[in-house]
């Protein structure tokens, strides 16, 4: 099926798909784009995805941690980067020096940022987060006026510029959920309070992928798109078909094919017992590779364009599929999930099989031990692609590392 050499197991991430998705989302939304690349780009490789997103016109990158922001800078990114999750005592200095936009949730954080600014002698770029209902990070509406006053005072004193005001939605994947309306209302009130206090942020933002597509009224100046940038559907059953392309394909090499009699139990605990004589295929990936164990007995894989059900439990290093009497050659390509265009499952199919969301499917497998390779289906010729696949981890735009 594929002309590429297939190792035991690998993730192939198509950066052309990322660029395509970022462009589609930008055009659809008509405002500035922040591509969210936290958690190693949802398992797709943070630095490579970030580069592709910039090429496709993403003005901003979004990450959770200071370390992630600094890793983008270390990789040469010089554009706008927002980070939003710190713990008391973390050193803001390097991120301030690197021109990263920080997020403050509280007066205590403002004090820490001010101390870092005084220490390094560089003013910060600072965004403020209002908790509009998620009850996670951010200042509550009750604490908001004091945060805004202090932030404005720090701005007047030259400690920072307040560059943004933002919040995060509870149920953007459920367009009819009442939280959407109430959060938008609370956010608009918070913006008015900030404006009255004299703040003039560059960007106001509330929407993640699902809201960016489904709720035009919350696009404001900037949308923060994570999952949809990777070509996955953040609101299954609700999103219009925008032609997004899943960027990640997870594939392995069929290790073994064998016949079993009716009554043979399969994998640990014999949670599946063959009700007929059949053939089984051994796929050399498991939860040690980030394959979700909760998809035991429910997911399927694609072999030669046909879906084959996983039988019994997913083990640490391997899983077993039912070939139903067929005998594909050992060495054949097994697609766990990919674009869905070749008849194989998608990450969304795996999410449904495992009772989770596709966010977790890709982030987990990207954090496992599968080799991750970046390709570019627009730019790589077959020859260039083969060369890239054979290359060392640090060569060119293609990464063949541990995949962490």
Q: What minimum distance in Å lies between the beta carbon of 163 and ligand PLP?
A: 16
Residue 32 contacts residue 221 (beta carbons within 8 Å) = yes
105 in catalytic set: no
Residue 380 contacts residue 3 (beta carbons within 8 Å) = no
Among the options 38, 92, 105, 129, which is catalytic? 38
Site string for ligand PLP, 286-325 (x = CB under 6 A): ----------------------------------------
Query: Does 232 participate in binding ligand PLP (rule CB under 6 A)?
Result: no
Query: Does 84 participate in binding ligand PLP (rule CB under 6 A)?
Result: yes
Query: Does 180 participate in binding ligand PLP (rule CB under 6 A)?
Result: no
CA-CA distance, 238 to 221, in Å (whole number)? 24
Q: What minimum distance in Å lies between the beta carbon of 402 and ligand PLP?
A: 24
Query: Does 93 participate in binding ligand PLP (rule CB under 6 A)?
Result: no
- Give phi and psi for 18, each to the nearest 5: -60, -50
CA-CA distance, 69 to 283, in Å (whole number)? 37
Options 153-161, 193-201, 205-213, 300-308: segment touching ligand PLP (CB under 6 A): 205-213
DSSP conformation letters of 358-372: HHHHHHHHHTSS-EE
Q: Which is nearer to ligand PLP, 212 or 301 (CB)?
A: 212
Query: Does 226 participate in binding ligand PLP (rule CB under 6 A)?
Result: yes
Q: Which is nearer to ligand PLP, 224 or 251 (CB)?
A: 224
Options 226-234, 238-246, 269-277, 329-337: segment touching ligand PLP (CB under 6 A): 226-234
Query: Does 208 participate in binding ligand PLP (rule CB under 6 A)?
Result: yes
According to CB under 6 A, which one of 80, 168, 204, 372 is a site residue for ligand PLP? 168
Query: Does 227 participate in binding ligand PLP (rule CB under 6 A)?
Result: yes
Options 185-193, 224-232, 277-285, 346-354: segment touching ligand PLP (CB under 6 A): 224-232
Q: Which residue has the tokens 């060392």?
A: 392
According to CB under 6 A, which one of 58, 209, 363, 373 is a site residue for ligand PLP? 209
Among the options 105, 258, 268, 287, which is catalytic? 268
Residue 248 contacts residue 44 (beta carbons within 8 Å) = yes
Q: Which residue has the tokens 């554009």?
A: 79
Q: Which is nearer to ligand PLP, 235 or 310 (CB)?
A: 235
Classify 238 in phi/psi space as left (phi over 0), alpha (psi -120 to 50) or beta.
alpha
The residue sitting closest to ligand PLP, measured at its beta carbon, is 226
Q: Which is nearer to ligand PLP, 44 or 313 (CB)?
A: 44
Query: Does 234 participate in binding ligand PLP (rule CB under 6 A)?
Result: yes
Q: Which residue has the tokens 């200071």?
A: 66
Query: Does 246 participate in binding ligand PLP (rule CB under 6 A)?
Result: no
Query: Does 35 participate in binding ligand PLP (rule CB under 6 A)?
Result: no
CA-CA distance, 398 to 71, in Å (whole number)? 18
CA-CA distance, 151 to 193, in Å (whole number)? 12
Rg (CA), the chain: 23
316 annotated as ligand-binding: yes
Q: CA angle, 146 as apex, 140 and 151 as ends, to 5°?
A: 105
Contacts of 45 (CB under 8 A, 6+ apart): 13, 366, 372, 374, 399
Q: 130 burial class (0-12, 13-18, 19+ CB within 10 angstroms)?
A: buried
Q: What minimum distance in Å lies between the beta carbon of 228 and ligand PLP?
A: 6
Q: Which residue has the tokens 């541990």?
A: 402
Residue 386's H or E segment, with its range, is helix 382-390
92 in catalytic set: no
* Bridge pairing between strands 306-311 and 300-303: antiparallel
Options 23-31, 182-190, 202-210, 283-291: segment touching ligand PLP (CB under 6 A): 202-210
Residues annotated within a binding site for substrate = 136, 316
Give the active site residues. 38, 268
Interface ranges with ligand PLP (CB under 6 A): 36, 38, 84, 168, 208-210, 224-227, 234
């Amino acid at each position: 099926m594929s002309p590429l050499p297939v190792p035991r197991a690998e993730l192939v991430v198509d950066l052309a798909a990322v660029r395509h998705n970022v462009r589609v989302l930008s055009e659809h939304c008509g405002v500035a784009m922040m591509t969210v690349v936290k958690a190693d780009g949802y398992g797709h490789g943070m630095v490579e995805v970030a580069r592709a997103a910039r090429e496709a016109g993403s003005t901003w990158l979004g990450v959770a941690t200071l370390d992630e922001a600094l890793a983008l800078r270390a990789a040469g990114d010089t554009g706008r980067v927002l980070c939003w999750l710190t713990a008391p005592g973390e050193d803001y200095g390097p991120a301030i020096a690197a021109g990263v936009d920080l997020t403050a949730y509280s007066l205590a954080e403002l004090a820490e940022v001010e101390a870092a600014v005084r220490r390094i002698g560089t003013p910060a770029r600072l965004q403020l987060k209002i908790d509009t209902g998620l009850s996670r990070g951010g200042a509550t509406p009750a604490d908001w006026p004091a945060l805004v006053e202090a932030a404005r005072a720090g701005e007047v004193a030259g400690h920072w510029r307040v560059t943004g005001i933002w919040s995060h939605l509870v149920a953007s994947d459920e367009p009819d959920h009442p939280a959407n309306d109430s959060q938008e209302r609370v956010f608009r009130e918070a913006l008015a309070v900030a404006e009255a206090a004299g703040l003039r942020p560059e960007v106001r933002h509330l929407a993640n992928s699902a809201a960016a597509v489904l709720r035009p009224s919350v696009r404001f100046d900037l949308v923060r798109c994570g999952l949809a940038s990777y070509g996955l559907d953040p609101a299954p059953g609700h999103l219009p078909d925008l032609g997004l392309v899943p960027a990640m394909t997870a594939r392995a090499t069929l290790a073994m094919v064998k016949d079993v009699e009716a009554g043979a139990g399969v994998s640990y605990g014999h949670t599946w017992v063959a009700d007929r004589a059949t053939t089984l295929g051994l796929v050399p990936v498991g939860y040690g590779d980030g394959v979700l164990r909760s998809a035991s007995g429910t997911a399927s894989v694609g072999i030669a364009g046909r879906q084959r059900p996983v039988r019994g439990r997913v083990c640490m290093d391997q899983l077993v599929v039912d070939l139903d009497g067929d005998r594909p050659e050992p060495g054949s390509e097994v697609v766990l999930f990919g674009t869905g265009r070749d008849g194989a499952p998608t990450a969304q199919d795996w999410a449904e099989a495992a009772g989770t969301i596709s966010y977790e499917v890709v982030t987990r497998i990207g954090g496992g031990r599968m080799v991750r390779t970046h390709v570019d289906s627009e730019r790589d010729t077959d020859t260039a692609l083969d060369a890239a696949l054979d290359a060392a981890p640090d060569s060119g735009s293609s990464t063949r590392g541990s995949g962490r």
